[in-house]
């Protein structure tokens, strides 16, 4: 049985994914340099959902084709999986991390180079618009921490050090009360109590 706050976080995530799928809220949320953290605390569990434009992690948002780009993606994935390095949560243990991104979907090619070649009449502006609509990519990473010795008073994040493209992170904490704050390179601590 799922706890209430975790269910709320799940709905958050489902909502975000649905929005991404139909491209509706994505434009408003997808701002390079900005990202979101949703944190749900329930008894001895902490769930963290990190959502960000791929630009902040990679410096690009197209499907990697060169060796250098692929290496960069592999490095970012390795860093993202190490939730225990990205988040300092007292004695809590990382139990699970799960990464999703359209850049990891091998069945779907966002770039459609053939489309552009078959439409030589496109003027610069419409080509530019098409570029913006089709070439943005996001990452969502889910972390599950177990805190058998209790929830810490604060969470410190190393995201700004690991990913220098990040400038602001909007944080929502769902605990006994809900709170919101914005992190930046000089303010990387989330107080929980
Ligand atoms: Zn983008």
Higher-pLDDT residue of 105, 10:
105
CA of 184 to the centre of ligand 1 (A): 19
CA of 32 to the centre of ligand 1 (A): 6
What's the pTM value of the predicted model, to 2 decimals?
0.75
DSSP class per residue in 37-53: EEEEEETTEEEEEEEEE
Q: Check: CB of residue 58 under 8 Å from CB of residue 68.
A: no
CA of 31 to the centre of ligand 1 (A): 7
CA of 19 to the centre of ligand 1 (A): 15
Q: Is 52 exposed, middle or buried (0-12, 13-18, 19+ CB in 10 A)?
A: buried
Could you read off the pLDDT of 30-84 as tens digits, one per residue? 999 999 999 999 999 999 999 999 999 999 999 999 999 999 999 999 999 999 9
CA of 187 to the centre of ligand 1 (A): 24
Judged against a pLDDT cut of 80, whether residue 124 lies above it is answered with no
CA of 100 to the centre of ligand 1 (A): 16
CA of 42 to the centre of ligand 1 (A): 33
CA of 26 to the centre of ligand 1 (A): 10
CA of 53 to the centre of ligand 1 (A): 6
pLDDT at 27: 42
pLDDT band at 12 (very low <50, low <70, confident <90, very high): low
β-partners of residue 187 are 184
Judged against a pLDDT cut of 90, whether residue 139 lies above it is answered with yes
pLDDT at 20: 43
Could you read off the pLDDT of 151-189 as tens digits, one per residue? 999 999 999 999 999 999 999 999 988 999 999 999 999
pLDDT at 105: 78
Looking only at the bridges linking them, the beta strands covering 168-174 and 34-42 are parallel
pLDDT at 136: 93
pLDDT at 54: 97
Judged against a pLDDT cut of 90, whether residue 21 lies above it is answered with no
CA of 61 to the centre of ligand 1 (A): 6
CA of 133 to the centre of ligand 1 (A): 9
CA of 59 to the centre of ligand 1 (A): 10
Could you read off the pLDDT of 77-91 as tens digits, one per residue? 999 999 999 999 999
């Amino acid at each position: 049985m799922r706890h209430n706050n975790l269910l709320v976080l799940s709905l958050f995530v489902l909502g975000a994914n649905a929005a991404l799928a139909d491209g509706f809220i994505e434009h408003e949320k997808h701002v390079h340099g900005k990202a979101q953290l949703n944190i749900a605390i329930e008894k001895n569990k902490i769930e963290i959902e990190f959502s960000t434009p791929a630009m902040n992690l990679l410096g690009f948002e197209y499907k990697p084709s060169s060796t250098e780009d692929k290496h960069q993606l592999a490095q970012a994935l390795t860093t993202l999986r190490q939730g225990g390095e990205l988040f300092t949560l007292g004695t809590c243990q990382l139990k699970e991390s799960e990464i999703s991104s359209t850049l990891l979907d091998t069945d779907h090619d966002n770039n459609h180079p053939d489309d552009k070649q078959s439409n030589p009449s496109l003027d610069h502006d419409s080509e530019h618009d098409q570029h913006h609509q089709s070439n943005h990519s996001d990452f969502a990473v889910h972390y599950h921490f177990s805190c058998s010795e209790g929830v810490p008073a604060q969470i410190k994040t190393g995201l700004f050090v690991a990913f220098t493209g990040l400038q602001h992170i909007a944080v929502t904490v769902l605990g006994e009360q809900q709170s919101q704050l914005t992190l930046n390179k000089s303010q990387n601590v989330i107080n929980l109590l």
